[in-house]
Amino acid sequence: MGKLNRIGVLTGGGDCPGLNSVIRAVTKSAINKYGMEVVGFLDGFKGLVENSYVHLDLNTISGIGYRGGTILGSSNRDDPFNFLTFKDGQETFSDQSDRAIIHLNDLGLEGLVVIGGDGSLHIADQFYQKGVNVIGVPKTIDNDLSATDVTFGFNTAVDTASEALDRLHTTAESHHRVMILEVMGRYAGWIALHAGISGGAHVILIPEIPFQVDKIIHKIHQRQWHEKKYSIIVVAEGAKSLGGEQVVQKIVPESHDPIRLGGIGNQLAHEIEKMSNTETRVTVLGHLQRGGSPIPYDRILSVRYGVAAVEALINGHFGTMVSLQGKNIVTVPIKEAIKELRMVDPESDMVGAARAIGISFGDI
């Protein structure tokens, strides 16, 4: 066990319920237990490159545990290894990682906690390869990080989507409509699957199981034959038809993850109305899933992750990510956590349970 005097923390990528709770836990445990100083970089890795930071103390983080968002700000466009700069008045991208490391050294930081998802942790691992004492904390509402049972923020997003489905049931039933709820989930359908089961959806469409529109129409007609005059469909933004492609809303070239998905709900609604003559409406939940206060489960998990990140730094477990495995928080190499996305297994017991209660995945 070593003695550290000063550490840094940043929140990278998209915002997520529970970020402030992790910041609070990192700061309080570092100060209260080890007498360390804590520096928070502003706007993710951008603050690291531009040396923009604040000193975090017990007053700074007081009362933020229940708040959504992040008091440090975040960014999913600023990669220090491919950073947007200007040369002769022209936009260009260059490696600014050495500049970031100089700032870390000038501040006397002996460790850095990176709170982020797949993209941010890829960057964290690159800094570790350059000698930075990095610890990762798994953050994503998509729940698609390998080597951990669950990421904080996921259960709050599921709660938000489930409440939306509850509300859509009443209006769908009143007007005998098909209601489609489009939720986040680019490559993994965890939010759609969990929210769909808890919210009583009749059809769940996820990226891992390509769908066929005629199978969805059959489910709608089947319900109508049994005097069920409405249907609820929840679709992940990354879902696609059999042999088809994901629906891309736009491309953001300067982002390390440039593809922005969106529009599958409206595309599907058009097909359903054309093929079934059933009035169909779409609700795109969008960033409501990222916003708001974290539910108690995520607040508690965030505290455990934040404390574990400080312990990992103290114990010299650099280049690792704190991970929930069963009931325990452990550390795993960041490389293990990011080597592949954690996807829904189409043969899992959860998918099987959904099928057993009559939920269609649009494939059979």
- Asked if residues 185 and 178 have their Cβ atoms less than 8 Å apart, the reply is no
Catalytic position from the list 79, 118, 125, 142: 142
- Tell me the chain's radius of gyration from C-alpha atoms: 22
Three-class HEC string of the chain: CCCCCEEEEEECCCCCCCHHHHHHHHHHHHHHHHCCEEEEECCCHHHHHHCCEEEECCCCCCCCCCCCCCCCCCCCCCECCEEEEEECCEEEEECCHHHHHHHHHHCCCCCEEEEECHHHHHHHHHHHHCCCCEEEEEECCCCCECCCCCCECHHHHHHHHHHHHHHHHHHHHHHCCEEEEEECCCCCCHHHHHHHHHCCCCEEECCCCCECHHHHHHHHHHHHHCCCCCEEEEEECCCCECCCCCCEEEECCCCCCCEEECCHHHHHHHHHHHHHCCCEEEEECHHHHCCCCCCHHHHHHHHHHHHHHHHHHHCCCCCEEEEEECCEEEEEEHHHHHCCECCCCCCCHHHHHHHHCCCECCCC
Q: Taking Cα atoms as reference points, which of 126, 73, 74, 75 lies closest to residue 101?
A: 126
Residues 6+ apart with CB under 8 A from 225: none
Distance CA 339, CA 362 (A): 30
Q: Is 118 a catalytic residue?
A: no
CA 29 to chain centre: 25
Q: Which residues are catalytic?
A: 142
